[in-house]
A and B are shown apart, each in its own frame.
Chain A
């Protein structure tokens, strides 16, 4: 090292450096990094002084949230609390919005008739487009406007890395990455966001697992529907403390099913298509920060709520119009929807659903938000529903279509496990750059959903529960 030779050519320098690095193996880098740290330490110690901290709150909080006894129950309780607040907070505004929009619908209809508009125009605009919009807004907006800010607060607080810390072992066991807990959390907001978030996982194999299984977390387009159905069938559509707790427990149970399926599918993938050893894992547990409550609420309302709602509305309007058309074009004495639904019915019955539900899920491919509106509209076109302005009316509609506890449960399970929405699939295509994996990302969940629903339906029928 003391030998000095003069080199003037820059390329020569680079070549020499590379040559030198070859012979020195790891030790050069080690020495460089060590020196940088020593230098930084010297500098820091001369200018930085630490205040004597009275209480180490971070440590105290972490002692609780990652404790052996309380760690997992607390995670569950927190999840339950978030959904309970969302559920019970969303009820009243949902009914109010539904009331408002369907009150407005009457005026709209009156206006159409006053100007002598033809029936098909009134049907297409009011009964199709407007109704779908009204439904998407009144069912989606309140839960989103409550859930997003709460979730953003938890995110800002720094709680999510603790979740990853608690769950890492389970993910390691199935051959996945501990940070998958983080991408899963992002999935609650939007699965497409969860898929993009999988970039934080360095190992391509584990990143792919995270992408392919993100869908098993119910996104914002799905859990308002899940919430509505569990409110209807577990709380009887009436707002009561007991009922909302029961419905929130149902949502938490579904999420636990989703997490179990995530782990199971991750394990299967890492034993078959994505074989390999778990890679390294380093995760920082950052200091807790006091969230800036007002900016968080404003940001999540505008950046997330309005963004997601706009997307839903853009898809819902044409979907509503199309659904109305298909529900009103008749082939013989059956509408197109009735025809397709009838064709799907035997299969749908086998998995505890009905033809219209399956059709709604298929037509809901562009955005999960429109599954319920499509289903409602198809039912309405077939049935005889007069007033339609609350959860109770929704309950009556479903009961009149022979919904049972099994239908409700399997609707929720199918919603939880089925193929991701179009936006998520496009995002997967972009992130993986592969059509093959995108197709798999759609097929794997679909097979899982059909299988699980089939088992539940047949089990319930064999044991005589339904």
Chain B
């Protein structure tokens, strides 16, 4: 099953905010295991969840924004 982190995400296409849980690839996709691509429930736009290195970079940038 998709390896998505449960958290709120904002769709870069339509701006909808939604819970990432259950919004990953469907089991029918042979690449679903470990897949981090999220599908927006509002407009269906797909984008990878920013976890791993990207998540760490995001957290670092947010820390710098908060405490410059």
Q: Do A and B come from one complex?
A: no
Task: Name B's A-contacting residues (CB within 8 A).
Answer: none
Task: Name A's B-contacting residues (CB within 8 A).
Answer: none
